[in-house]
Structure 1
C-alpha cells in the first residue's frame, strides 16, 4: 500500500504486464467460447479444430455446416466486436482526460449522434437501393462531419475551449436526435426493425469485407492514440498547467478529438450505437492500473473488447433464434455505474 499526498491510502496497482496478459487470456478464451454458442451450437473441441485448420490442415470429420457457421458468421462478428469495444473504450478514456470530466464518453463530441443521423437517413432514404456499404459509409461521414461542425462552432481557444465544446456538443446532439426522430417517424415497418437494431447496437451484419475495410481505420486510430499518451497525461493536470509546461493545448486538443472521432465513427458505423462502453471501462481500468495513459489505454482497449464480445455472446444465446440488441446489455451495466459516478462526485464536492 502507498500513501497519497492527501494523507489517504491508495490501493496497490496491478503491474501493467500482469493486467495485459490476464486481459488477453480472458479475451482469447471468451472469443473461442463465443464462437461455439448461439442459435447453432458448435462443440467447443470442433471450434478449436476449425480455428486451427488453416495452420494444421482440415479435418474431414468436421461438419461443413459448422465450418461455415464459424468462419462466415461467428469469427467476423467477434473480431468486429473486439475492434468496436476497444475503439469505444480508449476513446472514452481520452475524452475523459481531455474534458477532465469522469462522465465524458465518445458521444460528447457529437460522433455518435452524427453517425446516427447518417445511418438512419441512409436506411430510410436509400430504401431498397441500400447496399451493405451505404449505411456504414453514411454513418461514418456524418459522424465526422458533425464532430467538425461542433469544433468549428465552439472555436476552442487555448484554455477555455473544452467547456464550450461540451455545451455546443449537447446542443448539436439534441438537433441530431430530432432528425433521427423524424426519420424514424417516416420509416416504414421493415425499415423500423432495422432502425431499432441499429440504434441499440448489433454485430449481426459483420462480414469479412467490412472487416478488411474497417481494420486500417482502427489500426491507424490505435497507433495515434497510443502516441498521444504523454500528451493526455499532461492534459489531466489542467489546460493552464499544460500550457505552462509548454504543451500546445489547441493542437493537442484537435489531435485527440480527430483521433477519437475517427475511432468512434468507425465503430458506430459498423455496429450501431453501443452505449456506456466508453464511460464504464476506463474507470474500471483506472482502478486497476492507475491513471497513467501508457497503461490505461491498452488496458481499456482489451477490457472494452471483453465487454462487447461478452455482450454479443449474451445477445445470441438468451433468446434463440432471435438476437437481443447489444446496447441493452451494455446499458444494464453502464446505467448503474453512471449513477454511482454521479453520487460519488456529489459526495466529493460536498
Structure 2
C-alpha cells in the first residue's frame, strides 16, 4: 500500500512538472522548455544561467504565463474538491458548485463589487463579495429545499438550478445597469478567464485552498459517514447539523474565492470527482486529495487549449470546460444505462 502511494505521488509530481512546463511554454508565442526553466530558475536564484533570452520572453514566462498556470492549478483544485464534498454531503452525484447555484451567487457578488461598489476593501473586495454571494446562494438553496419540504437528491438539484437562474438574472441585471465601458471585460470574465493572474494576487486563492484542505482532509472519514446517511453519521458521534453547516460554509468560501479570480467555470467540480471515484473508489480519504490533484491538472490543460485553439486570441476557459465536461457527462450517462 505504501509503495503504491509513493508511486502515485511520484507520478502526480511528474505530471505537474510536465503540465506546468507545457502551460508556460505553449501559446501564441511558443518558448522552448529549456528557456522556460532557465528563466524561472534565474528569477529564483539570480545569475544561475547566462541570459540568452529577450526581455519579452522573460516577461511572458514570469509575469504572464507562470502566474496564470499557478492560478489554473489552484482554481481547478478548489472547484474539484468543492464538487467532491458537495456530492458526498448531498448524497447526489450531480451536485457541484455550478449546478447548485453557488457559482452563480459568487459571480453575482463579484459583479456587484467590480461594477458598482468599487474596491472599497482593497484587493479583498472582490473575494469577500464573491464569498458573500456564494454563501447567500447556498442559504437560498437550503431555504427553498426547506420551504418545499423536499429533501431528496433530485429536488436539491432542482432547487440549485432555480437559485442559479435567479442569481444569473440578478448578475445580468447588474451588468445591464453598470458602466458600458467595463461590461465587456466583466462578461468575458464571467465565461471563465485566467488572463488577469498576477503574482501578488495568488496568495488569496492559495491561502484559502490550503486552509480549506487542512480543514477538510482530516474530516474525510466523517464525510464518508455523512454520505451513508444522517443516522449513520449520528451513531458515530457526529453532530450532523453542525458538520453540514461547516461543510456548506467551507465550500461556499472555496467557490467564492475561486470564482472571484477566474470567473464562473463549470463542470470541473462535477466531472473530476466522478472520474476519481471511477478510478479510486468512493472513500473520501482518497477522493479529496486526488480530486484536488486531477482538478489542478485538468484546468491547466483546459487553459492551454483555450490559449491555443484561437491563438493569438484567448478563448474563455469556461467554454472549453463546458464542451469537454458536457460531452464526457453524456458518455457517462450512456454507459450507465
TM-score > 0.5, shorter chain as reference: yes
Contact in 2 for aligned 1:109/1:257 (Cα 8 Å): no
Offset at 1:28?
1.6
Taking structure 2 as the reference length, what is the TM-score of the superposition?
0.87
Unaligned segments of structure 2, at least 5 residues? none
Structure 2 residue 303 is the aligned partner of structure 1 residue 312 = yes
Question: How far apart in 1 are the matches of 2:127 and 2:220?
Answer: 29
| 2:242 alignment partner, one of 224, 248, 251 | 251
Q: How much has 1:131 moved relative to structure 2?
A: 7.8
1:338 and 2:305 matched: no
Taking structure 1 as the reference length, the TM-score comes to 0.84
**Quick check: 1:40 aligned with 2:37?**
no
Using the TM superposition, give the Cα deviation of residue 261 of structure 1 relative to its aligned residue in structure 2, in angstroms.
1.3
How many residues matched?
Answer: 331
Aligned runs of 1:205-216 on 2, under 5 Å? 205-216=196-207
CA contact (8 A) 2:106 2:255 kept: no
Query: Which 4+ runs in 1 deviate beyond 6 A?
Result: 127-132, 161-164
Q: 1:51 aligned to 2:40?
A: yes
**Alignment counterpart, residue 312 of structure 2, candidates 307, 321, 325:** 321
1:267 match: 258
C-alpha displacement of 1:76: 0.8
Question: What is the CA–CA distance in structure 1 between the aligned matches of 2:276 and 2:167, rounded to whole Å?
Answer: 31
Query: How much does 1:148 deviate?
Result: 4.1
Q: Answer yes or no: is 1:18 the counterpart of 2:25.
A: no
The reply to whether residue 291 of structure 1 matches residue 291 of structure 2 is no
Alignment of 1:119-130 (within 5 A): 119-126=110-117
Three-state SS of the structure 2 residue aligned to 1:38 is coil
CA distance in structure 2 between the aligned counterparts of 1:16 and 1:88, rounded to whole angstroms:
24
Deviations 1:246-287 (A, max 9, x none): 322112211211111111111111000110001000111111
Matched, 1:27 2:16: yes
Tell me which residue corresponds to 1:3: none
Where do 1:146-157 residues align within 5 Å?
Answer: 146-151=137-142
- Separation (CA, whole Å) in 2 of partners of 1:136 and 1:100: 28
Conserved? CA contact 1:97–1:235, under 8 Å = yes
1:69 aligned to 14, 35, 60, which one?
60
Unaligned runs of 5+ in 1: 1-13
Aligned position for 1:7: none
| 1:201 equivalent among 192, 207, 224 | 192
Show the counterpart of 1:97.
Answer: 88
Contact 1:19 1:289 in 2 (8 A): no
Q: What SS does structure 1 have at the residue aligned with 2:28?
A: coil
Query: Does 147-156 or 323-332 show the bigger shift?
Result: 147-156
Corresponding residue number in structure 2 for 1:302: 293
Residues 43-52 or 189-198, more deviating: 189-198
